[in-house]
Amino acid sequence: MSTPADDSVARLPTSAMALFDGRDLPEKASRTFLLATGDSEGLPHLAMLSVGEVYAPDASHLHLALHATSGSRHALASSRRGLLVVVGAQQSLQVRMETELIDAFASERIDLFRMRVVSVRDEHAPYATITSGITFALKGDPAPTIDRWRQQIDLLRAL
C-alpha cells in the first residue's frame, strides 16, 4: 500500500496503530524499529527505536522521543524529514514523515518530535514471507526500562 502524493491524507495501517498505541509495553518490549534520517551534508543516520520511543496519537501522526545528543536527533531537527521502517512477521512498512513540532526536555535528556505521516509503503514480495523483524532482549531487570518508556510515552501523548 503506497499513499499517493496528492491531497489525500497518508494513514498508518491498523497493525501499526496497535503497535504504537503506548499500551502493553512489556509484551512489545523486544520490537525494534529503524529511523533513517539525513544530516546537513546528506550523510545517512540510522537509529534503532523501541516501543517506548514511538507513539501514534492517530493514523496520520507519530510522536518520537530521541536522545537529545544523538546524531539522528540532530539530523531530524536539521532535515525535518525521516523514514521509519517497521518490520515484523509478515509485514514491512516504510513510513515517510515530516517534522511538525519539536519540544526539548533537557531535564529528561530527550527531545520530542511530532511527525506528520507523508506516505506509507507496504513492502512485500509475492515469492517470500517476512518471518520476523529486528528484536532485542532487555538486560537484567526490565522494570526500570519499561517505567522509563511509560514516562516517555506519557510525554509523547501530551504533545
Q: Is 157 in a helix, a strand, or coil? A: helix
Q: What is the pLDDT of residues 84-116, one digit of tens each?
A: 999 987 789 999 999 987 777 756 789 999 999
Cα(137)–Cα(135) distance, integer angstroms? 7
Q: What is the pLDDT of residues 32-84, one digit of tens each?
A: 999 999 987 888 889 999 999 999 999 999 999 999 888 899 899 888 999 99
Domain count, the chain: 1
Complete DSSP assignment for 42-95: S-EEEEEE-TTSEEEEETTEEEEEEETT-HHHHHHHHH-EEEEEEEETTEEEEE
The pLDDT assigned to 107 comes to 62
The pLDDT assigned to 3 comes to 39
Cα(123)–Cα(37) distance, integer angstroms? 19
User: What is the extent of the structural domain holding 58?
Assistant: 14-157
Exposed, middle or buried: residue 39 (CB in 10 Å: 0-12, 13-18, 19+)?
Answer: middle
* Residue 149 placed within a domain: yes
* Residue 2 placed within a domain: no
**Cell for 80?**
525535518
HSE, CB side, 13 Å, CA atoms: give it for residue 39.
11
* Residue 83 placed within a domain: yes
* Residue 28 placed within a domain: yes
pLDDT at residue 1 greater than cutoff 70: no
At 74, which CATH number?
A: 2.30.110.10
Nearest to 4 by CA among 96, 114, 101, 126: 96
* Residue 85 placed within a domain: yes
Q: What pTM value is reported for the model?
A: 0.89
